[in-house]
């Protein structure tokens, strides 16, 4: 990274800056004439003195001469405006491009930071620097050279003009400049210092906020909100003080500038007026000078502002850049170099005199020498702070040793590009990170190192793509196309398409994530338009399941959707819609307010029924729940009415008794009307939806479907026995009905039958594929810790690395899953070198060899079976502690 702002600017925008300068230079003659012309207009055309007889061979009178000159003036104004516009746009574009470059460079730097550096910088600070702090730099870069040139040139042009008119007036105009030139930098210096402090403190604030977000659970769990708020208040206070001081000083500078600018006309009126009276200066010249002076103050102000911005930008640049240059940063080419096609790291691992120092320079790995044979599986065990994790991180080159070296298959890994270590070595740490994307992409990330199959040339908007690419190139950004296929199929060892899906499926089994993915798949859905063959197979499964349930005598456990029948296991709303709501219009919480639904109820005479049923529901709820405290769990679990609304309904029920339903106000009746929609007769057993009501709801169902206005067509996906419902989950599509309430074990038994049918119809693969499309949320928050870890394992195994290094990689799994996953990985890793730092020494039993690391040294090594019995041996000790 360039050490100073101007070096950065000059290196990446030389050409543009020179173009800007040339254009600026070209604009000055026009500017000069636009200043000079008014004098001619006033003195000659209006004053009528020295009027030329003819112009370009044509005779002219005074008025047409005036018009001609005015026209010329107008043209100059337009040309000057045009120049300004062009220069501004050019400058803006240049600034944006440079900002883009700077941000990208900083981000690229972050990716090359040595890992220990992340202990010292906080996420909040770094983000604040890349996003916020460098923002003003963009605007400044465009102005950095052109603005002083332009405004300085303008200033000079105007001054030259003034001196030509009268050197005394010219001198008067700049008489106070030296004073300003002396005082402003002095004052500005203080502001700059404050600016630095402000940047530092805003960073500390972002750090504090970032910290609170990362630790939000602990803030809540320890009632730490007040402490956290006091911390932020403290920092805000410091920032406030600094900013206030900056404002005070800034405005003082402004005041001084303005005052001086106002002072100069004093000289014009007095000296200029005197000269005109004496006849040494024409009146026109004085007016022109005054006009020019008005123009003079603008560039002068701009120059002063520029000076302030320059100071500000320099501070920001220096402060950001110094943060982004930690020692040990990975050289750029090590991250970008590509490998030869057949590059492998299959072979023995050996370390010689390896050492690693902590921040204080104390050794935490000391003279460690270890050899792992080509196909050996080695367990590294030891106490928590003994250095076993550091050792395996060194082997994966996530840490760089302070002494000694590591070779894998005869190659020293310190000098290998990341393309080698990050592809041929597989490393999984104790808490794998899952990115905000689909499960599938998170696993494929393990083999997405560079675009492999480029986007076809005729794909999408070619012009748009080329434009984006050109802009990226001009800003020095990455030129890799995000839309290309990045998956390294060769590394995975399969072809694109079904084979890859098959492989992913296998990997899910290996890491024991297949059942979870299957469950996610059942909850997911597909678009029948794009995947008609899958939809068709699901419909087939729907029929098979129904037959299968009948065969097992379990037909009563699922109540299928039937257009002609009321479904007692579905809500009243579902019965009315006879479909799945799409969007919010007919969602359960809004359906009662929907105008169209109300029309349908009115048309079928259900409105009164619903109000009556609603009243009954309300009175039952009031009776059941009125004695419970408002925060009782029964409310959320069972009640139709929230605890906040219960008192209101209590009043409404009383009112209904007094006045009768018919006598109640419309809004009170509406409150009752909203209640029956959630009723499920078979579950709630309130006996409120009688046969008559059911028949009428069925009728309303018909009316609802036939009269549905066009703009609501997309708001509901109707149930249909022979159509895939895109708004419902895969599981609901196969079930096509409701699991019956009140049948013992219905859910589990139907689930079994469902699984059986999916297996029989060979749909498990499809379901898993759909489960892989599951969006995992920010940081994988929609997955459990164990699931996230399994994704991390699958990601690494996917690309079949030559060497496998695990760092307590299964510690987050529950013990049943842990043994299974470890056994599977052993199978998967057959024939490759594997080093595994274990959270528990007893897990080392299945390894070829166990290495005990304590205090940064190997204290014992050998077969598990032998070491376990060594009297007061290190392993025996560890096992004893477990």
Partner 1 sequence: MSLQEEVELLRHIPLFSKIDPSKLKLLAFTSERLAYQDDQILFNQGDSGDAAYIIMSGGAAILIETDTGPIEVARLKKGDVVGEIAILCDVPRTATVQAKDSLTTLKVTKDTFFRLVTEFPQIAVEIMRELAARLEQTNVQLRAAHSSK
Minimum CB distance to partner 1, residue 628 (Å): 6
CB of 555 to partner 1, least distance (A): 12
Exposed (0-12), middle (13-18) or buried (19+): which is 272, by Cβ within 10 Å? Answer: buried
Of the pair 200, 684, the CB lying nearest partner 1 is at 684
Q: For partner 1, which is the closer residue by CB, 460 or 742?
A: 742
Nearer to partner 1, 495 or 745 (CB): 745
Question: In this complex, which beta carbon is closest to partner 1, that of residue 161 or of residue 625?
Answer: 625
Nearer to partner 1 (CB atom), residue 627 or residue 871: 627
Structure tokens at 737: 């009905």
CB of 591 to partner 1, least distance (A): 24
Cα–Cα dist 701/843, whole Å: 62
Say how far apart CA 112 and CA 325 lie, in whole Å: 10
Output the six-digit token pair for 832.
């490759």
Q: How far is CA 181 from CA 87, 178, 256, 746, in A?
A: 27, 5, 12, 88
| Nearer to partner 1 among residue 8 and residue 625 (C-beta) | 625
Going by their DSSP bridges, the two strands 485-487 and 448-453 should be labelled as antiparallel
Query: Between 472 and 555, whose beta carbon lies closer to partner 1?
Result: 555
Rounded to 5 degrees, φ, ψ at 859 are: -105, -15
Q: How far is the CB of 574 from partner 1 (least distance, A)?
A: 20
Between residues 551 and 845, which has the closer beta carbon with respect to partner 1?
551
Cross-strand bridge partners of residue 806:
428, 836
Report the nearest approach of partner 1 to the CB of residue 630 (Å): 12
Q: Tell me how far, at minimum, the Cβ of 655 lies from partner 1, in Å.
A: 21
Q: Are 821 and 369 spatial neighbours (Cβ–Cβ below 8 Å)?
A: no
Are 93 and 16 a contacting pair, CB within 8 Å?
Answer: no
What is the full DSSP assignment across 294-315? HHHHHHHHHHHHHHHHHHHHHH
Q: Cβ distance 9 to 141 under 8 Å?
A: yes
Tokens at residue 106, please? 């900083």
Contact residues for partner 1, defined by CB under 8 A: 553, 620, 623-625, 627-629, 632-634, 637-638, 684-687, 741-745
Assigned token pair, 454:
């480029």
The full DSSP string for 835-872 is EEE-SSGGGGGGSSEEEEEETTEEEEEE-HHHHTTSTT
Smallest separation, CB 553 to partner 1 (Å) = 8
> Among candidates 427, 376, 349, 351, which has minimal Cα distance to 804?
427
In the bound state with partner 1, the residue whose beta carbon lies nearer, of 133 and 616, is: 616
Q: Which is nearer to partner 1, 464 or 627 (CB)?
A: 627
Q: Nearest distance from residue 629's CB to partner 1, in Å? A: 7
Cα–Cα separations (whole angstroms), residue 194 to 251, 315, 684: 14, 10, 68
Count Cβ atoms below 10 Å from residue 746 Cβ, excluding itself.
18
Complex with partner 1: residue 53 or 633, whichever CB lies closer: 633
Nearest to 651 by CA among 612, 619, 609: 619
What's the min distance (Å) between Cβ of 641 and partner 1?
13
Supply the minimum distance, in Å, between the C-beta of residue 570 and partner 1: 17
Please, what is the minimum distance in Å from the beta carbon of residue 687 to partner 1? 4
Residues 6+ apart with CB under 8 A from 234: none
Is-contact 793 446, C-beta < 8 A? no
559: left (phi over 0), alpha (psi -120 to 50) or beta: beta
Euclidean distance between the first and final Cα of the chain, in Å? Answer: 51
- Rounded to the nearest whole angstrom, what is the least distance from the CB of residue 645 to partner 1 in the complex? 18
DSSP 788-841: HHHHHHHHHHHT--SEEEEESTTTTS-HHHHHHHHHHHHHHTTTSEEEEE-SSG
Query: Between 499 and 626, whose beta carbon lies closer to partner 1?
Result: 626
Q: For partner 1, which is the closer residue by CB, 325 or 657?
A: 657
Report in angstroms how near the CB of residue 742 gets to partner 1 at its nearest: 5
Residue in this structure with the two tokens 């906040």, named with its chain if needed:
644
């Amino acid at each position: 990274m360039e050490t100073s702002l101007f070096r950065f600017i000059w290196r990446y925008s030389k050409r543009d800056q020179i173009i800007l300068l040339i254009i600026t230079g070209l604009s000055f003659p026009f500017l000069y004439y636009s200043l000079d012309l008014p004098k001619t207009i006033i003195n000659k055309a209006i004053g009528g003195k020295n009027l030329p007889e003819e112009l370009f061979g044509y005779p002219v009178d005074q008025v047409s001469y005036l018009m001609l000159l005015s026209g010329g003036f107008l043209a100059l104004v337009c040309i000057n405006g045009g120049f300004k516009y062009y220069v501004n746009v050019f400058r803006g574009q240049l600034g944006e491009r440079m900002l883009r470059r700077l941000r990208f460079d900083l981000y690229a730097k972050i990716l090359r930071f040595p890992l220990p550096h992340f202990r010292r910088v906080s996420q909040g600070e770094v983000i604040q620097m890349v996003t916020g702090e460098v923002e003003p730099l963009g605007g400044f870069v465009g102005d950095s050279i052109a603005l002083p040139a332009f405004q300085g040139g303008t200033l000079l042009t105007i001054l030259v003009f003034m001196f030509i008119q009268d050197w005394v007036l010219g001198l008067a105009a700049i008489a106070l400049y030296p004073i300003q030139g002396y005082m402003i930098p002095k004052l500005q210096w203080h502001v700059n210092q404050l600016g630095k402090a402000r940047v530092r403190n805003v960073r500390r604030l972002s750090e504090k906020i970032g910290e609170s977000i990362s630790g939000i659970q602990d803030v809540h769990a320890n009632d730490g909100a007040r402490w956290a708020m006091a911390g932020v208040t403290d920092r805000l206070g410091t920032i406030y003080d600094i900013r206030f001081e900056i404002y005070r000083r800034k405005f003082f500078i402004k005041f001084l500038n303005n005052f001086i600018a106002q002072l100069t006309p004093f000289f014009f009126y007095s000296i200029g007026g005197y000269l005109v009276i004496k006849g040494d200066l024409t009146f026109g010249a004085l007016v022109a000078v005054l006009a020019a002076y008005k123009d003079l103050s603008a560039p002068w102000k701009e120059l002063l502002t520029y000076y302030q911005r320059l100071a500000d930008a320099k501070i920001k640049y220096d402060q950001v850049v110094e943060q982004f240059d930690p020692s040990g940063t990975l050289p750029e080419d090590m991250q970008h170099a590509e490998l030869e096609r057949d590059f492998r790291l299959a072979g023995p691992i050996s370390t010689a005199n390896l050492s690693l120092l902590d921040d204080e320079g104390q050794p935490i790995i000391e003279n460690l020498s270890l050899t792992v044979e080509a196909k050996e599986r080695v367990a590294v065990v030891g106490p928590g702070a003994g250095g076993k994790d550091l050792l395996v991180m060194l082997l994966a080159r996530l840490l760089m040793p302070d002494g000694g070296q590591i070779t894998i298959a005869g190659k020293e890994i310190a000098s290998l590009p990341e393309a080698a270590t990050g592809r041929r070595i597989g490393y999984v740490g104790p808490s794998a990170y899952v990115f905000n994307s689909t499960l599938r992409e998170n696993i494929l990330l393990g083999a997405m190192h560079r675009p492999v199959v480029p986007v076809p040339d005729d794909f999408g908007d070619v012009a748009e793509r080329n434009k984006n690419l050109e802009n990226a190139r001009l800003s020095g950004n990455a030129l890799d196309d995000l839309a290309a296929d990045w998956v390294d199929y060769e590394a995975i060892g399969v072809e694109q398409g079904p084979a890859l899906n098959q492989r992913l499926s296998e990997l899910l089994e290996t890491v024991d994530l297949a059942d979870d993915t299957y469950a996610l798949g059942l909850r997911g859905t597909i678009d029948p338009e794009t995947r008609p063959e899958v939809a068709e197979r699901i419909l087939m499964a729907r029929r098979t399941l129904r037959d299968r349930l009948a065969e097992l005598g379990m037909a009563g456990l699922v109540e299928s959707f039937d257009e002609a029948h009321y479904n007692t296991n579905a809500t009243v709303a579902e019965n009315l819609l006879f479909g799945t709501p799409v969007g919010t219009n007919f969602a359960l919480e809004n359906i009662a307010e929907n105008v169209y639904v109300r029309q349908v109820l009115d048309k079928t005479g259900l409105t009164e029924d619903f109000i009556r049923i609603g009243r009954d529901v309300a009175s039952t709820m009031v009776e059941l729940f009125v004695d419970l405290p408002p925060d009782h769990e029964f409310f959320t679990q069972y009640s139709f009415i929230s605890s906040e609304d219960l008192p209101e309904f209590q009043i409404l029920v009383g009112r209904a008794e007094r006045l009768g339903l018919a006598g109640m106000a419309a809004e009170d009746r509406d409150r009752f009307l909203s209640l029956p929609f959630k009723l499920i007769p078979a579950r709630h057993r309130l006996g409120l939806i009688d046969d008559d009501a059911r028949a009428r709801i069925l009728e309303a169902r018909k009316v609802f479907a036939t009269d549905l206005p066009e703009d609501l067509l997309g708001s509901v996906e109707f149930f249909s026995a022979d159509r895939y419902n895109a708004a419902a989950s895969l599981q609901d599509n196969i079930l096509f009905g409701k699991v019956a309430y009140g049948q013992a074990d219905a859910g589990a038994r139907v689930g079994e039958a469902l699984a059986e049918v999916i297996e029989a119809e060979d749909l498990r693969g499809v379901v898993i594929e759909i489960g892989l499309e599951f969006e995992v949320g920010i940081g994988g928050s929609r997955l459990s810790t164990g699931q996230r870890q399994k994704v991390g394992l699958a990601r690494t195994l996917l690309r079949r690395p030559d060497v496998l290094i695990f760092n307590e990689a299964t510690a987050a799994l529950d013990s049943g899953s842990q043994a299974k996953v470890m056994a599977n990985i052993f199978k998967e890793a057959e024939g490759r070198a594997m080093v595994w730092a274990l959270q528990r020494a007893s897990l080392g039993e299945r390894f070829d060899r166990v290495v005990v690391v304590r205090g940064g040294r190997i204290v014992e090594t050998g077969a598990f079976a032998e070491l376990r019995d060594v009297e007061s041996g290190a392993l025996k000790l560890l096992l004893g502690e477990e």
